[in-house]
């Protein structure tokens, strides 16, 4: 039942990011961190570092720069596919975007330093419950109203 309730809320199963998406994320992170490393700011705390990047529009990565760096002169990926990946990451909450002062275009910055794999939920038969200790239990399915054994 938990799987049904969480379906669509949490990503489950194998990684859902393509190689191009991973490259786009790593490029944005490299731009952000590269610009931050030239600053006097030297703190080891990731939360403070990410917060500083989010406040400093000079560290944000414009999509044109991401496109340029990801292709490195070879143009393996189109501008629209890189732009679509940036928007998808923004919608997923992996990247944030904002318009720097006096700019018409968005700059992107990371909200996390690691692009995690999807969450793998354990199979129901592997969960060890200290109360029921592996015994089956009759429950009422709230969606169907039928009694089920779990």
Token pair belonging to 82: 């890189």
* Cα 23 to Cα 19: distance, rounded to the nearest angstrom: 6
Architecture of the domain delimited by 15-110:
Orthogonal Bundle (1.10)
Separation of first and last alpha carbons in the chain:
9
What's the pTM?
0.63
Return the pLDDT at 139: 84
pLDDT tens per residue across span 95-125: 999 998 888 999 999 887 777 655 555 666 6
Return the pLDDT at 80: 94
Q: Is the pLDDT of residue 134 over 80?
A: no
Mean confidence (pLDDT) of the chain: 79
User: Shortest CA distance to 82 belongs to which of 14, 27, 16, 11?
Assistant: 27
Of the candidate ranges 55-59, 66-70, 79-83, 116-120, the one whose mean pLDDT is the lowest: 116-120
Q: What percent of the chain has pLDDT over 70?
A: 76
For range 68-90, the mean pLDDT: 90
Return the pLDDT at 6: 53
111 near 96, Cβ under 8 Å? yes
* Cα 60 to Cα 33: distance, rounded to the nearest angstrom: 9
Q: What percent of the chain has pLDDT over 90?
A: 27
Per domain, the residue ranges of the chain are 15-110
Task: Output b/e per residue, 86-108; b: 16+ Cβ within 10 A.
Answer: beebeeeebbbbeeeeeeeebbb
């Amino acid at each position: 039942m938990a799987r049904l309730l969480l379906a669509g809320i949490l990503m489950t199963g194998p990684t859902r990011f393509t190689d191009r998406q991973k490259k786009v994320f790593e490029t944005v992170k490299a731009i952000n961190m590269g610009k931050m490393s030239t600053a006097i700011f030297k703190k080891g705390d990731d939360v403070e570092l990410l917060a500083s990047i989010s406040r400093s529009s000079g560290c944000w990565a414009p999509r044109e720069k991401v496109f340029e760096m990801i292709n490195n002169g070879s143009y393996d990926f189109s501008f629209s596919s890189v732009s679509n990946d940036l928007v998808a990451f923004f919608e997923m909450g992996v990247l944030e975007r904002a318009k720097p002062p006096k700019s018409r275009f968005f700059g992107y910055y990371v909200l996390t330093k690691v692009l995690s794999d999807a969450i793998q939920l354990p199979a129901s038969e592997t969960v060890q419950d200290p109360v029921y200790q592996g015994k089956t239990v009759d429950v009422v399915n709230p969606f169907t109203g039928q009694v089920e054994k779990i």
